[in-house]
Amino acid sequence: MSAHRAGLVAVIGRPNVGKSTMINAVMGRKVSIVTAKPQTTRHRILAIYNAPDAQVIFVDTPGLHRKAGKAMNRMMNRTAANALADADVVLFVSDATRWTSEDDDVLQRLRHCRAPVIAVLNKVDKVQPKEKLLQSLALMAARFEFAEIVPISAKKADNLEQLLALLPGFLPESPPLFPEDMHTDRSPDFHAAEVIREKLTLLLHQELPYGLTVQVERYEDEAAGLAIHAVIWVERDSQKGIVVGKQGNVLKKVGRAARLELADQVGRPVHLELWVKVKDNWADKEKDLLSLGFDGS
């Protein structure tokens, strides 16, 4: 019988290549929120996958990006870089349909990484004609000395079995690092805040999603169901009206969508109350970011 293995798998890539979608597909549940907008993932989130002979701990990270003008962006880049330093193996996720200068930037960081790197070529279902996939795989192999190259479609959950079969071989012998019934290191109230932020990001347009965050102030089980009170923080007074919407319509839509999803996840009724408050320029103040739950390491 082979020894049990456990370790950290850092999932790295530029924004919007499908890192969180891949992790959710592997886990068969929503661990990280997903939208089509870059920088949806802002925090380091662990997703704990248990196999019979291994515990694979995926580290979902913010996308590494060039424009790090605000303190929040710098903190997100730092979070992703720190995940690399701790990893036993790295998954470098890129989009099979296009290679960008931002992908090059991430690859440059990986040249200094001590851990083996597996290239994960995502969105292969969108490559047409299929012969072009062979060309994409050859180009990827020429860019770096990858330990493996695995083509997948996270959205369609294609070829994830091959990826999962490879990973234990890169992890050290170890008993499980987390209880086997644990799926993430993040708390239920953190997840609730993220679901609310996801609904806001999907509903609001342009730059506003990058100027807001959500903080849950109350998360309690009651006889009638789950009671959640949350504050949506924006950076300016002008943004508050947009988030609330005409006659409160935007806030109502966000609240309803978040409440229905959370109720479905917990299997109980959810009572959700939302407030919108202004914290001037919070995304560029490290003290505010720390108070709002961002990781400063």
Other residues' Cβ atoms within 10 Å of the Cβ of residue 259: 22
CA distances from 7 to 57, 73, 89, 186 (A): 6, 27, 8, 18
- DSSP-assigned letters across all residues of 149-208: EEE-BTTTTBSHHHHHHHGGGGSPB---SS-TT--BSS-HHHHHHHHHHHHHHHHS-TTG
**Whether this model's pTM surpasses 0.75:** yes
Q: What is the pLDDT of residues 256-277, one digit of tens each?
A: 999 999 999 999 999 999 999 9
Question: Tokens in use for 249?
Answer: 């319509």
Edge-to-edge strands, sheet with 117-122: 45-51, 54-60, 5-12, 89-95, 117-122, 148-151
Q: If residue 256 lies in a helix (H) or strand (E), which one and from where to where?
A: helix 249-266
Q: Render pLDDT for 154-169 as a digit per residue (tens, 0 to 9).
A: 999 999 999 999 999 9
Q: CB count, 10 Å around CB of 200?
A: 25
How does strand 225-234 pair with strand 270-278? Answer: parallel
Closest to 270 (Cα-Cα) out of 283, 279, 282, 257: 257
The domains of the chain, with CATH numbers, are 5-170 (3.40.50.300), 188-291 (3.30.300.20)
Helix axis angle, 188-203 relative to 249-266, nearest 10°?
A: 140
4: part of which helix (H) or strand (E)? none
Residue 28 Ramachandran class (φ > 0 left, ψ -120 to 50 alpha, else beta) = left
Residues paired with residue 5 on neighbouring β-strands, in sequence order: 54, 173
Tell me what pLDDT residue 69 has: 67
Say whether pLDDT at 296 is over 60: no
Q: How confident is the model at residue 68 (pLDDT cuts 50, 70, 90)?
A: low
pLDDT (tens digit, 9 = 90+) per residue, 74-94?
777 777 778 788 899 999 999
In tens, the pLDDT along 101-111 reads 999 999 998 99
Lowest model confidence (mean pLDDT) among 23-37, 77-91, 127-141, 265-279: 77-91
Amino acid identity, position 176: P
Is residue 34 within 8 A of residue 195, CB to CB? The reply is: no
CA distances from 253 to 14, 18, 20, 203, 246 (A): 31, 26, 24, 8, 12
